[in-house]
Amino acid sequence: MHTSHRTFVVKKTIANSFLIIGNTIGSGILALPLVTAVFGFLPSVLILTFAWLVMTYSAKLLLECSYWVKEEQNLVSILSMTLSKPWKIIVSLLYLAMLYAMLVAYISISADLTQSVLKQAFTLELPYYSIVLMFTLVFGIVVFYSMAVLERYTRYLVVVLLLIFLFMVSSALPHVSLINLQVQHYSGLIWTLPLAILCFGYPMIVPSLRQYCGDEKMRAVHVIMLGSFLALLMYILWLFAVLGAMPLAGDHGIHALPDQKISSLTAALQAITHNHYLSAGLITFAYFAVATSFMSIAKIVFDFLNDAFLQLNWKNPRASAQVLSLLPPVLISVYIPGLFVYALMFSGAIIGILLVFLPAVLVWRGRYHNNFSHYYQCEGGKRVLIAMMGVGLMVALVEIFHKLFY
């Protein structure tokens, strides 16, 4: 009986970890080698590993915060317990704006991919708004259901995602050269830190994950560790395959690409691997990666808004949260797609503040000012929390300085 229960828990943990993978692995993984190629494989792995360590600890801090509130509550309730009312409002609005910006970005990417495929494969052109609506309805429907439904949807999509990923990597691996992997440049590597942090933006799903895992705190911890580590392995494997197969210079080198776009990278990889299915694989991977990330963020927005409306004693909070999770991003995508351009431009800085600096502040307030119960307490004391605050501020400053002065 004990063995069968343990097996069930292990299977459940693995299945739940797909939520983390689906949230973490967006279409940005494809373009990652374009940004990090100049530094080489090993420096890129080091900065990604550092980012993974930081964001994994941040996720565990948020998990600690999530156990201060009731199971059905979310980040808004945590903010209410730890911050003053003005700061709660400011942080809540900034957090919601970041989530909306991400949804708008995912909708726009999916619409562009769909239009491109329809035009090239079927010479068919559909109105932009119709594609936006179709994508949102198909993948946004999860906000009307429980976390268990999202987990099931995500599991199927991530399995497809992993199969396509393995196909892409296996196509490039035979062409990997150890000479290409020996490139190492550390000067300027610090500028990639915000991007590396952005690659692991999954801590935002932790309050919703806590609702799903209930009081099984160690299961939640194992899901975070396993899901994020598998995502890290995918990043490293993709960098190994692309940076190992493509030299920096030469006819098909990264420096020879006419622009820093995924389409150019795809063309170069096809020329190197002689695999004409690679382009279709990359497009399909990008679409499924966007879909899983979109579903995850939509659910996070719903849980966030539902918690806020419950605190305000809003009439029909669930229905209101469902509508406001999807309607604003759709309208913005169709009518004012450039609204969040600057927010996305400084997304690394925003993530640094909201998902690195803020969790450390919340835990500090909860532990040392409010003396909240320690049903689950993340390892590390005041020095570690101060270090996390410092890293969060550093990420934000690096991003701002780099974007404004370079």
HSE (side-chain half, CA atoms, 13 Å) at 217: 14
What would the two tokens of residue 353 be? 């503040």
The full set of domain ranges for the chain reads 2-24+40-405
Closest CA to 155 of 267, 17, 289: 17
**Tens of pLDDT along 43-80?**
999 999 999 999 999 999 999 999 998 888 899 999 99
Report the C-alpha gap between 86 and 7 in whole angstroms.
47
CATH superfamily, domain 2-24+40-405, is: Amino acid/polyamine transporter I (1.20.1740.10)
For CA atoms 272, 253, 283, 55, give the dihedral sign: positive
Place of tokens 């109105």: 127
Question: Pick the residue with more confidence: 262 or 105?
Answer: 105
Report the C-alpha gap between 172 and 184 in whole angstroms.
21
What would the two tokens of residue 90 be? 């400011």
Closest CA to 20 of 284, 287, 201: 201
Closest CA to 243 of 263, 223, 265: 265
Total length of the chain:
406
Task: Calculate the alpha carbon distances from 377 to 13, 118, 126, 258, 359 in Å.
Answer: 20, 51, 52, 50, 13
**Tens of pLDDT along 103-138?**
998 998 888 888 888 887 788 888 889 999 999 998
Tell me what pLDDT residue 89 has.
94
Tell me what pLDDT residue 372 has.
86
Report the C-alpha gap between 270 and 272 in whole angstroms.
5
